[in-house]
Amino acid sequence: MFDLQNKIALVTGGRRGMGRTHALALASQGAKVAVTDVDVNDCEGVVEEIKAKGGQAACFKMDVSKKEEVESVFDEIIGQFGRLDILVNNAGIYISKPAFEITEEEWDRMMDVNLKGQFLCAQRAAKEMANNKWGRIINIASVASGQTGVGIAGGAHYTASKGGIIGMTETLAIEWAPLGINVNAIGPGAIDTPMMQAAQLPKEAMDAMLARIPLRRIGKPEEISAMVVFLASEEASYITGATFYVDGGWLAA
Ligand SMILES: NC(=O)c1ccc[n+]([C@@H]2O[C@H](COP(=O)([O-])OP(=O)(O)OC[C@H]3O[C@@H](n4cnc5c(N)ncnc54)[C@H](O)[C@@H]3O)[C@@H](O)[C@H]2O)c1
């Protein structure tokens, strides 16, 4: 099960954090992976890790918020790999700011990267996937996306962007089901990545959060990648338009 031999996958924001483990996990199941990021500094390191384990990968600089760049990098990747089967829309930013202080530019930047970026990549990917009548698009949202009981003080713009991803996922799933493309979202809980570390939660806030999570720990990036691999696989053929929360039980508590 979950064999991805002969599949071509593209991961955005793949140089570190969860993007890195998604790329490694997809490659470990046999996919050839295009590791993309706005910052390519550590990207080659991920490609080397994949190659060291016998996989195939290449690194590409791509800012998901810029349509022209998305179009040209997708063209390059499809030209080099011959096809595209799996897109993991993982790139994202989080900047904590009280709602009164969020500027219009900061609001727009959050939407451009977290929401518009996922749309631009999904749109371009689906055009290619439609040619092959097979595709998997996996959008990374968050538990903090609305109607879950998990708001984040200082994250009005972030939570709005993540809620938008879930609505977009449902609509794209309906539009592209006839094209053989399944579109799903994953809502991670609190996961140990550079983004989480940069948030520098005070100890009391971390303890209060852990008290709400039945498994009493934050998650490992690999625990989200397992869901990515499943949704990317043939075994997820009857799943589309859904959001899966991988959160240590947070939303159940
Ligand atoms: N860490 C968590 O607790 C958590 C929880 C829920 C959801 N998420 C989401 O998971 C995803 C991955 O987060 P992470 O925790 O691994 O974060 P991270 O900051 O470690 O990694 C994010 C990656 O996205 C890249 N990126 C930023 N802007 C970009 C742009 N414009 N174009 C292309 N790449 C860009 C960064 O360079 C970085 O490599 C994000 O969408 C995030 O919102 C994270």
Mean pLDDT of the chain: 98
Which residues have CB under 6 Å of ligand 1? Answer: 12-13, 15-19, 37-39, 63-65, 90-94, 113, 117, 140, 142, 188, 190-191, 193-196
Specify the pLDDT at position 205.
92
Q: Residue 219: helix, strand or coil by DSSP?
A: strand
Q: Quote the number of domains for the chain.
A: 1
pLDDT, mean of residues 140-160: 97
DSSP character string of 127-142 = HHHHHHT-EEEEEE--
**Contact 165/139 with Cβ under 8 angstroms?**
yes
Ligand 1, atom 32, lies closest to the CA of: 63
Question: In 3-state terms, what secondary structure has residue 78?
Answer: helix
pTM for this entry: 0.99
Decide if 88 is inside a domain: yes
Residue 133 lies in a domain: yes
Q: What share of the chain is helix, strand, coil (3-state, %, to 5)?
A: 50, 15, 35
pLDDT digits (tens, 9 = 90+) for 9-19: 999 999 999 99
Domain that holds residue 112: 8-248
Q: State pLDDT tens for residues 201-246.
A: 999 999 999 999 999 999 999 999 999 999 999 999 999 999 999 9
pLDDT of residue 236: 98
Work out which ligand 1 atom sits closest to the CA atom of 16: 39
- Ligand 1: atom nearest CA of 14 is 39
Asked if residue 253 is part of any domain, the answer here is: no
| pLDDT band, residue 247 (cuts 50/70/90) | very high
Torsion-angle region of 17 (φ positive above 0: left; ψ -120 to 50: alpha; else: beta): left
| Within a domain: 125 | yes
Tell whether 30 is covered by a domain.
Answer: yes
In angstroms, the CA 234 to CA 230 distance is 8
Protein residue with least CA distance to atom 19, ligand 1: 195
With respect to residue 2, please indicate whether it lies within any of the assigned structural domains.
no
Task: Classify residue 41 by its DSSP letter.
Answer: T
Share of the chain above pLDDT 90, in %: 99
Q: What's the CA-to-centroid distance between 178 and ligand 1, angstroms?
A: 31
Asked, for residue 3, whether it belongs to a domain, the answer is: no
- The protein residue with its alpha carbon nearest to ligand 1, atom 25, reads 13
Task: Give catalytic status of residue 245 as yes or no.
Answer: no
pLDDT digits (tens, 9 = 90+) for 24-70: 999 999 999 999 999 999 999 999 999 999 999 999 999 999 999 99
Specify if 207 maps to a domain: yes
State the Cα angle at 169 between 199 and 233, rounded to 5°. 95
Res. 89 pLDDT band, cuts 50 70 90? very high
For position 35, which CATH number holds? Answer: 3.40.50.720
- For residue 184, what pLDDT band results from cuts at 50, 70 and 90? very high
Dihedral sign, Cα of residue 216, residue 169, residue 68, residue 70? positive
Output the pLDDT for position 84: 98
Q: What is the DSSP letter of 113?
A: I
